[in-house]
Structure 1
Amino acid sequence: MGGVVDKSDLEDFRGAMGALGDVKPLAPRHRQSAFKKDAHHDALNQRARREAATAQTARELNPLGGEYVEPVDPWDPIEFKRDGVQNGVYRNLRLGKYTVDARLDLHNHTIEMARSALYRFVKDCVEADVRCALVTHGKGEGRKQPALLKSCVNAWLPQLPEVLAFHSAQKQHGGLGATYLLLRKSERKRQQNLEQHQRRSRP
C-alpha cells in the first residue's frame, strides 16, 4: 500500500486503455481550458453565495414578513386604523381629503422588491415629515394569484409602527389599486411641535 503501484498493475492498466482504442490523454490546452471553466464556476458560486448572504441580511433588517398572507379580493377595499387615531382624521384619509406628499408605484415589482421598496419608502416618508402618502399596487384582477401585491401590502403595513392608518384610495388616486397611508410624525417634528406648544403656553 502506502501509495506504491505494482509494476504488473500498471502494465494491466495500460493494456486495458490500449484495448479501448479511442481513449486519449487530454492535450495541455484542453487541460488548461477545463481548469478555467472550473475556476469560472467557482467564481459564480462565490458571487451567488455573497448575494444570498446580502439578501439574508436585508431580510433580517427588514421586519416585513410572514410566510402566509391573507388573500384580498381585487375588488375589496383594504383598511386599517390604530387605536388613538381620531375617527374624523381617519374619515378624511379615507375620503382623500389630505394632500398626498409622496407616492410609491409597485407595478412590475416582485414580492421581495415590493417588500424592500415599501419598507424604505415608509422610513423615508417619516424622515421627510410626510404625513400622507400613496402606494399604488394594482388590483391584480385576472392574475393566476389575484391581488397578490395588494394582499401583501395589506399584510405588511400594520407591521410598521410608523403607519397610523391606511385605506384604499379614491378613484382619482387609483381606487382599489392604490392605498392612502397616514404616517406618524418624526421625532424631530414632535419635538418642534412640543416646543411651539410650550412657547404658546407661556404667559
Structure 2
Amino acid sequence: SPDGQTIISASHDNTLKLWNLNGQCLHTFTGHSIGVQSANFSPDGQTIISTSHDNTLKLWNLNGQCLHTFTRHSTGVRSTNFSPDGQTIISTSGDNTPELWNLNGQCLHTFTGHSSWVRSINFSPNGQTIISTSWDNTLKLWDVNGQCLHTFTGHLSMAQSANFSPNGQTIISASWDNTLKLWNLNGQCLHTFTGHSNLVQSANFSPDGQTIISAS
C-alpha cells in the first residue's frame, strides 16, 4: 500500500488477499471467476484494482467489497495501473488494445496500434503520457487520449515490461531477447544492458532514479 503497512496479492485461486506485514490475512476478495493476474492500490490507498483471465477488471474497497466491474476486453486482462491522481485506470489485455477507464468502469479511450498482446502499461509520473510494451517487440508512448506519440523499436523479441524513471525523462524496458534497454522519450535507445542469460521479465528504477533492478 502507499503507506507501506499492507500488501495485496493476486492468485490463480481466483482471489486477492490483503495482508499485514506480519503475514496475517486481513481480507479475501472473491468475485473473479478465473485466475487473478495483477492487483494495485490507488494512490490514496483506499481502493484496489485487479485484473483477471475472466476478461474483467474489478475495483474494490479495502474490506473486499467489489465497487465496479469493468467489462470491455475480449480476452484475459493482464495488467492495470491507476493514474497518479487516482482518477483514471489503464489496462492491457491479449486483445492488443489498452483501455483507459474512469472509476465508474466507463471506457474513455481505446489505444490501437499494437499488433500483438500488450503485456504491461504504466503512466508517467505527471500522468500525461503512458508507456506500453507488447509481444510485437515494441514499446509505444501514448498521450492520455490514445494517440501514439512514438514507437520504440530495437528489442529482438517480446517486450515484457517498461517503467518511467522517477523524473519521467527516461524509460527502462525488459525483453525476452535477454536485455534491458534505456530510452529517451523520443524512442532513442540510450543504453542496452546485457548480462542476463535468459528472458528478462521486468525492470524498474530505484526511487532516486540512480539504479535499476531487473528480474530474469
Which range, TM-score by smaller chain?
under 0.3
What TM-score do the two structures reach when normalised by structure 1?
Answer: 0.21
In proportion to residue count, which structure has more strand?
A: 2
What TM-score do the two structures reach when normalised by structure 2?
Answer: 0.20
Q: Which has the higher contact order (CA 8 A, sep 6+)?
A: 1
* Structure number, greater radius of gyration: 1
